[in-house]
A and B are shown apart, each in its own frame.
Chain A
């Protein structure tokens, strides 16, 4: 799957389902401090990712994923 396609899918659910403002979705945006994603939101993101990309996020693999760009990369690595 192309990175552009992953970005499109992730941004779509962040806007439509997690209701994050689209103009905040920058590669260097911090997931917690920048986008305001808290631990409960993250539970819903795990569900959405599994339904959209067919794999389950493991919390230990997310330790170094701090920004939205790193999150795109993490998903790309898992699906490709």
Chain B
């Protein structure tokens, strides 16, 4: 079977604008959560969000590229440019070789709402301008990245709610394993503008702990009261192992397992059974046992039910092995469509630098998390193999197993 490795990665999130900044934030257990005053004005129940600065792209990209990029596409450009640099892939390589792109994204609400507002004001759709259509579609990220980087391989967006980024990497793995592609740019992107998250706030899913924003996201903690939305973009360059060796590419890690499942039940409530199936499948695909896993990057978003169901599944599979677990969403908030990809980048940074980033704000367990080995302070630890979970609305589950290359 063809092996699939990660030869480059990039990140743009509330923890930093590049790998080095993010590595430092992860090690320090630094939260990226703050308050967005516009959310209060707009009528949000919670103004809390991951604070992500829009990148300045003038000078980096031509006008046509910039006009067609929605907010999440701008982040994806930044993380992808960093990932390609690290993978030693330049424009000359991209023009001479077939490279694909599979990115997780499940909304471009700001672009849609702004176009609608313009049409209502002028009663004339042409006033939306030339970029609105390219910014508004769910595939906005992949259509723009493929154009900017001249990609000629598989080209599509994976929309699977909060598991989008993870499934994108899982599907990239399959395309390469099956011999259909040698290199695929995978990742996830998430808009953070106040126009993008109102309906999510509307169902009461967000934490309202506004007195100290950095304490609001507290996965697995007894006193959690909801998630905090975050965003940005993360990119990994997946490549067939021999291809990477032949190219002399830096090899960061190997993607060894992908597991998935669908709960076939409630639209918003997760399931311990469904998430457990995804984890078991990922382990089986990787050819490893639960006892082999050195670290679990949990999906845990800081919601009462979501964390409880994941804790039950983790308890069932991993408690005998006392496997260290943390949810980096305690620092980033829930990066939604991007999370499954960003958490691979975060975990790779931990694996490369031999530490486990803390599940900050984990102060008291509840009845479900009490048996888990949740790491609440940064821990120095060698990681050879880790599991990363991502679950989404509609009961979509994804789990990835990643291995250190020695």
Contact = CB atoms under 8 A, between A and B. Distances in A.
Contacts of B124: 56
Interface in A28-46: 40-41, 43-44, 46
B62 interface: yes
A50 B62 CA distance: 24
* Chain B interface residue number, banded: 10 to 19
A19 interface: yes
Interface in A13-37: 18-19
A22 B62 CA distance: 16
Contacts of B63: 18-19
Interface in B90-142: 124, 126-127, 129-131
B67 interface: yes
A47 interface: yes
Contacts of A47: 126-127, 129
A44 B62 contact: no
Contacts of A44: 67, 129-131
A43 B62 contact: no
A43 B64 contact: no
Contacts of A19: 62-63
Interface string A42-77: 011011001000001000000000000000000000
Contacts of B127: 47, 50
B62 A46 contact: no
A40 B126 CA distance: 11
A41 B67 CA distance: 10
Contacts of B130: 40-41, 43-44
Nearest to A18: B63
A52 to B, nearest CB: 13
Contact of B126 (A18, A41, A43): A43
Contacts of A18: 63
A14 B131 CA distance: 17
A46 B126 contact: yes
Interface string B59-96: 00011100100000000000000000000000000000
A66 B62 CA distance: 24
B98 to A, nearest CB: 27
Nearest to B126: A46
A35 B130 CA distance: 18
B310 to A, nearest CB: 45
A43 B131 CA distance: 9
B59 to A, nearest CB: 11
Given A46-B126, A47-B126, 4 more contacts: A40-B67, A41-B64, A41-B130, A44-B130
Interface of B: 62-64, 67, 124, 126-127, 129-131
Interface of A: 18-19, 40-41, 43-44, 46-47, 50, 56
Closest 10 CB pairs of A and B: A43-B130, A40-B130, A19-B63, A44-B130, A47-B129, A44-B129, A47-B127, A46-B126, A43-B129, A43-B126
20 contacts: A18-B63, A19-B62, A19-B63, A40-B64, A40-B130, A41-B64, A41-B130, A43-B126, A43-B129, A43-B130, A44-B129, A44-B130, A44-B131, A46-B126, A47-B126, A47-B127, A47-B129, A50-B127, A56-B124, A56-B126
